[in-house]
């Protein structure tokens, strides 16, 4: 089925018993988000809140809450889009399979938006304060749009081919924003709208911006699709949606999807910023208040019967995990084409996506050598850090396919065990310091700045990994050593007390003490605030280790050395404690969770769901 708007999608999900209506009054402050998160965690249905306090508009959530439901939504076009992407990955496939030709031609035709003079979106106007005021977490700075589709065009190349459609969070209220006249536009580093904004600033002109909410589900996926630079997201939206997206174009204005539920029109003045945030984010912490561009609101449009779609974010997995899984399946075959020599990548959701990237690559530079060592893998790693969204990765861990043709970086325990067996810690750690990093990651030395590291492993095993907790003598403040997995230990450490961009003498002392023990089988030791929590599961271990550490600042080593600016050790120790400068972790509100529990009692709307 082709969904030309959000209503047709929601109606179909309800007809197929994949959507539940909640007619009881629901507060968009904390409660709606808490319900969505609980239903997602239970693998539950999409939700339609028909009675939302403070607004006349219904809200829909968890639409993409399972991979199966996401595939169901795009079932009519999925094979065609897969064929288009496969053809790009292997052009010879098109010649070999003429049966693909009609579908590819139709998909190409659908990529072109269709200009229309009017549409449902033009039916009504409203104001920012009349929209649903979703607040997901107690410390959020105000109400936010969590599924916004932010549209802009290049000032030097206007039109669809020079457009960008991205999902950048929009703050509707709070802080210093003028009610109904201003909204905050938070776009992170390495985002397409940034290039348009830079052009406008250089020209000393305003940048027109439209924010769409709702509309064809394909636009939501298109806005987060990691497309190559120069390919407009609007084109992909048409291919995935199975129809030419009708766009209302008024003279002198940016186009608007005719079937959108809402559109906030406005512009960004050059040089104007205001504090935006805090906001609970997908790493599992708050992103704090920082200056970001301000959008001056010109008009708020909505269709008849408009529904406000939303999600909430927090420590993964969350609904955006399903976006990532769906996109991975679509684009897996393109990886070797985009990154030469790389066969598979895995941006690890449990670690917050950008903090940890695993990859299987080739090691072919010196095939006649008696022993493989990382060479091409280093090139692969630098390629991953040099383009697309993988450039935001912090820890990039690569293994050579030649050592194990069956190795997959999606089997995280086996992959890390394979790497730790082969990692030469005197040679195979490559740091990049004082570089750009993900805006939402507070482990670095400042906003948008920190370090990255490549762990590259190739050749025969260098060690046998330890499989039991060894005898350890720990200095004061360190305790509770735990065996986590082969080659990996976790310790509890004292509360961090150092300023940003500073090594901790207590960690250096720990390394000196541990160097006296026999830890040859444990190349990775993690120090956390709570070793028991960290070692309780792989999800906990990955989240704590890679979201709470900056590679250059927080990697220490037993028998550490620096030779000609290259650092190495015999076992590395990662300081994964919460730091004095980190943002706080997200914590649920007990009173709200109790109310959610009550919605699951017999006769209530979530009975049998959570």
Of 401, 431, 457, the one marking the end of a domain is 457
pLDDT score of 100 = 46
Q: Find the CATH number of the domain harbouring 17.
A: 2.30.110.10
Are 217 and 1 in contact by the 8 Å Cβ rule? The answer is: no
Same domain flag for 180 and 263: yes
Determine the structural domain holding residue 425 and report its residue range.
319-457
Residues 382 and 277 in one domain: no
Reported as half-sphere exposure (CB side, CA atoms, 13 A), residue 349 has a value of: 17
Together in a domain, 343 and 430: yes
Mean pLDDT for 11-29 is 98
Q: Is residue 178 part of a domain?
A: yes
Give domain status of residue 549, yes or no: no
216 and 237 in contact (C-beta within 8 Å)? yes
**Do the domain assignments include residue 28?**
yes
Give the torsion sign (CA, 228, 185, 9, 595). Answer: positive
User: Are 417 and 486 contacting, i.e. CB atoms less than 8 angstroms apart?
Assistant: yes
Residue 436 has pLDDT above 50, yes or no: yes
- Find the distance separating the first CA and the last CA of the chain, reported in whole Å: 29
Q: Are residues 251 and 327 in the same domain?
A: no
Question: Of 310, 336, 355, at which residue does a domain stop?
Answer: 310
**Maximum Cα interatomic distance, the chain, rounded to a whole number of Å:** 77
Asked whether residue 42 is domain-assigned, the answer is yes
User: Does the pLDDT of residue 231 top 60, yes or no?
Assistant: yes
Cα torsion angle, 269, 271, 276, 282, sign: positive
Give, in order, the Cα–Cα distances in Å from 466 to each of 281, 345, 421, 455, 491. 36, 27, 10, 20, 16
Mean pLDDT value of segment 183-188: 92
Confidence check: pLDDT of 407 > 90:
yes
Tally of domains in the chain: 2
- In this predicted structure, the answer to whether residue 99 has a pLDDT above a threshold of 80 is no
Q: Tell me, yes or no, whether 286 and 423 share the same domain.
A: no
- Annotate 64-78 with three-state secondary structure: CCCHHHHHHHCCCCH
**Above 70 in pLDDT, residue 409?**
yes
Question: Quick one: 267 and 397 in the same domain?
Answer: no
Residues 286 and 381 in one domain: no
Average pLDDT over residues 455-467: 98
Q: Establish if 516 belongs to a structural domain.
A: no
In a shared domain, residues 371 and 229? no
Residue 226: pLDDT band with limits 50, 70, 90: confident
Residue with tokens 């400042």, as numbered in its chain: 446
Residues 100-125 pLDDT 10s: 445 555 556 678 899 999 999 999 99
512 vs 83 pLDDT, higher one: 512
Asked if pLDDT for residue 87 goes beyond 70, the answer is: no
Residue 288 maps to a domain = yes
Task: Check pLDDT > 60 for residue 96.
Answer: no
Indicate if 306 and 372 belong to the same structural domain.
Answer: no
Is residue 45 within 8 Å of 14, Cβ to Cβ?
no
Do 297 and 378 share a domain, yes or no? no
pTM reported for the whole predicted model: 0.92
The residues, any chain, with a CB within 8 Å of residue 389's CB and separated by 6 or more, are 190, 226, 347, 354
Taking 80 as the threshold, does the pLDDT of residue 74 lie above it?
A: yes
User: Is residue 395 within a helix (H) or strand (E), and if so which, with residue range?
Assistant: strand 395-400
Q: 424, 457, 490: which is the final residue of a domain?
A: 457
pLDDT in tens, 279-334: 999 999 999 999 999 999 999 999 999 999 999 999 999 999 999 999 888 888 88
More confident residue, 88 or 446: 446
Comparing CA positions, the residue from 174, 118, 119, 107 lying closest to residue 145 is 174
Q: Rounded CA gap, 359 and 357, in Å?
A: 7
Structure confidence at residue 559 (pLDDT) = 97
pLDDT tens-digit series, residues 127-168: 999 999 999 999 999 999 999 999 999 999 999 999 999 999
Whether 149 is covered by a domain: the verdict is yes
d(CA 131, CA 363): 54
Identify which of 450, 388, 352 has the alpha carbon closest to the alpha carbon of residue 190.
Answer: 388
d(CA 257, CA 238): 11
| pLDDT bracket for residue 232 (50, 70, 90) | confident
Return d(Cα 37, Cα 321) in angstroms, integer.
12
Q: Is cis: bond before 175, omega within 30 of 0? A: no
The full length of the chain comes to 610
* Alpha carbons within 13 A on the beta-carbon side of 73: 35
Q: Given this model, what pLDDT does residue 105 score?
A: 55
Q: Are residues 372 and 248 in the same domain?
A: no
Q: In percent, how much of the chain has pLDDT > 90?
A: 86
The pLDDT value recorded for residue 94 is 41
325 shares its domain with 373: yes
CA distance readout (Å), 217 to 152, 242, 320: 19, 11, 14
Please check whether residue 362 lies inside any domain of the structure: yes
CATH of the domain at 411: 3.40.1670.10
The confidence score (pLDDT) of residue 88 equals 57
Task: Give the pLDDT of residue 92.
Answer: 46
Contact between 18 and 45 (Cβ < 8 Å): yes
Q: Which residue has the tokens 């060894």?
A: 470
């Amino acid at each position: 089925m082709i969904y030309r708007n959000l209503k047709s999608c929601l109606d179909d999900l309800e007809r197929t018993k994949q959507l539940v209506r909640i007619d009881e009054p629901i507060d968009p402050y904390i409660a709606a988000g808490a319900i969505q998160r609980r239903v997602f965690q239970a693998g539950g249905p999409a939700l339609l809140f028909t009675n939302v306090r403070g607004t006349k508009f219904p809200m829909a959530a968890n639409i993409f809450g399972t991979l199966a439901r996401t595939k169901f939504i795009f079932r009519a076009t999925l094979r065609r889009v897969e064929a288009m992407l496969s053809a790009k990955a292997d052009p010879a496939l098109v010649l070999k399979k003429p049966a693909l030709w009609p579908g590819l031609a139709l998909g190409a035709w659908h990529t072109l938006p269709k200009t229309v003079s009017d549409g449902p979106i033009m039916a009504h106007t409203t104001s920012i304060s009349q929209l649903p005021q979703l607040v997901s977490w107690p410390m959020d700075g105000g109400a936010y749009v969590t599924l916004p589709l932010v549209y802009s065009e290049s000032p030097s190349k206007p039109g669809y081919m020079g457009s960008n459609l991205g999902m950048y969070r929009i703050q509707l209220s709070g802080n210093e924003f003028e009610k109904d006249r201003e909204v905050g536009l938070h776009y992170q580093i390495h985002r397409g709208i940034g290039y348009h904004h830079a052009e406008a600033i250089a020209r000393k002109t305003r940048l027109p911006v439209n924010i769409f909410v709702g509309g064809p589900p394909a636009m939501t996926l298109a806005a987060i699709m990691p497309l190559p630079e120069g390919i407009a997201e609007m084109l992909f939206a048409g291919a995935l949606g199975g129809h030419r997206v009708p766009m209302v174009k008024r003279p002198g204005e940016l186009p608007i999807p005719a079937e959108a539920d809402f559109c906030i029109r406005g512009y960004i003045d050059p040089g104007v910023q205001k504090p935006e945030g805090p906001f609970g984010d997908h790493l599992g912490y708050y992103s704090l208040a920082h200056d970001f561009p301000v959008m001056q609101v010109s008009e708020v449009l909505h269709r008849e019967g408009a529904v406000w779609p939303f999600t909430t974010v927090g420590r993964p997995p969350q609904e955006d995990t399903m976006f990532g899984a769906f996109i991975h399946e679509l684009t897996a075959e393109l990886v070797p084409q985009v990154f030469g020599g790389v066969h598979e990548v895995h941006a690890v959701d449990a670690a917050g996506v950008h903090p940890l990237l695993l990859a299987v690559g080739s090691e072919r530079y010196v095939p006649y050598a008696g022993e493989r060592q990382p060479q091409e893998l280093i090139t692969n790693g630098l390629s991953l850090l040099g383009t697309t969204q993988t450039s935001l990765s912090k820890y990039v861990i690569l293994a050579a396919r030649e050592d194990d043709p069956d190795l997959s970086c999606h089997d995280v325990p086996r992959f890390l065990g394979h790497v730790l067996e082969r990692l030469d810690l005197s040679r195979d750690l490559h740091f990049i310091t004082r570089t750009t990093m993900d805006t939402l990651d507070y482990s670095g030395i400042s906003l948008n700045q920190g370090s990255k590291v490549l762990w590259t492993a190739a050749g025969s095993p260098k060690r046998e990994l330890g499989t039991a907790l060894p005898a350890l003598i720990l200095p004061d403040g360190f305790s509770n050593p735990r065996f986590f997995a082969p080659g990996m230990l976790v310790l509890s450490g004292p509360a961090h007390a150092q300023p940003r961009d500073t090594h901790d003498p207590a960690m250096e002392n720990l390394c000196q003490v541990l160097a006296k023990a026999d830890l040859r089988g444990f190349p990775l030791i993690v120090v956390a605030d709570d070793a028991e929590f960290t070692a309780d599961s792989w999800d906990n271990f990955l989240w704590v280790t890679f979201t709470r550490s900056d590679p250059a600042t927080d990697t220490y080593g037993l028998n550490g050395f620096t030779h000609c600016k290259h650092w190495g050790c015999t076992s590395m120790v990662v300081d994964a404690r919460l730091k004095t400068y980190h943002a706080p972790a997200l914590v649920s509100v007990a009173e709200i969770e109790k109310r959610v529990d009550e919605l699951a009692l017999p006769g209530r709307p979530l009975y049998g769901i959570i």
